[in-house]
Structures are given as C-alpha cells and as structure tokens.
C-alpha cells in the first residue's frame, strides 16, 4: 500500500474517532511536517491528557492550551506511552523540549513561561530535526491572544 495513502487513512480514522467523542482537533505544521493534534483547553482535559491510552498515531499529538502563560509542568502518572513534549510560547515558538517516561511522577517544566505544550510520541521532534526556536503553525486562532 502507498505510504502516503496509509498515513492519510490513519489520520482520517483518528479524526473520525475524535469527532465521535466530541474532541476538538487542530491541523498543525512544523516545517514541512503535518500534525493532527487533539486540543485540550479546560483544566479537566489537561489533567487527563493522554492518560490510559495505549496508542498515538505517528503524526498525531495533543496540544495543551492554557488561558495564561506560565511555567506549566507535566507528569506521566497513568500515562502508558513514552512521550516528547515541546513547550511553546504565545507566538507558537518552541522554547524547550522534555522526554517523558511512562507512569512516572517526575515533573517536566519549561524554563520560561509557556502558553502551549505539544505532546508527541517519544523521539518525534529529534527524528524530524525540530529544534528550539522552531515555530508551530496552525495553533487555533481562538487559542491565541
């Protein structure tokens, strides 16, 4: 099967499941890479995050949106997947990264205030050559100030 077609089918299936569950999605891009991100913007959604999920499609992630910029920290309690997180400022620029091990209570905090965070499968940023200073495009306009 054609890889592009397989990728497209995977994203479509993910979008259908999220839509059925009433989840908000955003089409993001980092350089030439497209990401389908589930958007979590309420306190309860952020607390649950990717807990108890056993899979995350290769080009999918979770975008955490905060009402105000701050030093928002993350942990992996009840999270079964190894994840990489990008800490993102008000303008969509990546400030820091962290590698997070499953089912741990270690805090992962940005070095400076952030407004967004994007969790992806562990190693995604490194394998795609994404570095500090790179801009994440497509963050929903209603999420930006």
Question: How does DSSP assign 44-98, residue by residue?
Answer: HHHHHTTTT-----TTEEEEEEEEEEE---B--TT--S-EEEEEE-TTSBEEEEE
CB contact at 8 A, 80 and 103: yes
Indicate whether this model's pTM tops 0.95.
Answer: no
**From first to last of its 145 residues, what are the pLDDT tens digits of the chain?**
444 444 444 444 444 444 435 689 999 999 999 999 999 999 999 999 999 999 999 999 999 999 999 999 999 999 999 999 999 999 999 999 999 999 999 999 999 999 999 999 999 999 999 999 999 999 986 555 4
DSSP class of 145: -
Domains and CATH numbers, the chain: 3-140 (2.60.120.1140)
Q: Quote the tokens at residue 139.
A: 């963050």
């Amino acid at each position: 099967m054609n890889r592009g077609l397989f990728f497209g089918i995977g994203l479509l299936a993910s979008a259908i499941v999220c839509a059925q569950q009433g989840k908000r999605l955003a089409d993001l891009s980092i350089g030439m890479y497209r990401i389908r991100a589930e958007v979590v913007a309420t306190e309860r959604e952020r607390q649950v995050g990717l807990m108890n999920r056993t899979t995350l499609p290769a080009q999918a992630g979770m975008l955490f949106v905060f009402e105000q910029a701050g030093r928002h920290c993350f942990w992996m309690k009840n999270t079964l997947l190894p994840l990489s997180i990008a800490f993102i400022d008000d303008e969509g620029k990546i400030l820091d990264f962290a590698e997070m091990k499953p089912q741990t209570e270690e805090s992962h905090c940005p070095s400076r205030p952030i407004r967004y965070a994007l969790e992806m499968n562990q190693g995604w940023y490194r394998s795609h050559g994404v570095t500090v200073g790179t801009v994440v495009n497509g963050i929903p306009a209603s999420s930006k100030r």
